[in-house]
Structure 1
Amino acid sequence: MTKYLRKCTVCGKYTILKEICPYCSNPTRTPHPAKFSLTDNYGVYRRKLKRMDEDKS
């Protein structure tokens, strides 16, 4: 069931299998965190993207 649940990025309401929120017409995303791994293969890229995002704002 976890792969079906989606959460609106703006209003915070949950929906099932909808890419667009039926309440406010904004995009939805999965509310679940990424799987944890001690060998974080993409950690370098994730931190770089986070740094770029912080510099932008």
Structure 2
Amino acid sequence: MPFIAIALAALAMGFEQLVQWRYGPMGLIAFVALTVGIKARNTVISGIGAVILVMLFAQSG
């Protein structure tokens, strides 16, 4: 179980760094909003984060 938690944390940190490198500060803000919203079970905050990330992904493609 601890190995899975460490692996998931490393994967999340890697994804966060990728988002920040690729999409800048707005990508980081969106990722943090999505993460905080999911952890707090707040659909408004997680929805805002998800919408911003989708807009950033669509803009780059």
Output the TM-score relative to the length of structure 1: 0.35
Richer in strand (by share): 1
Richer in helix (by share): 2
Query: Which structure has the larger Rg over C-alpha atoms?
Result: 1
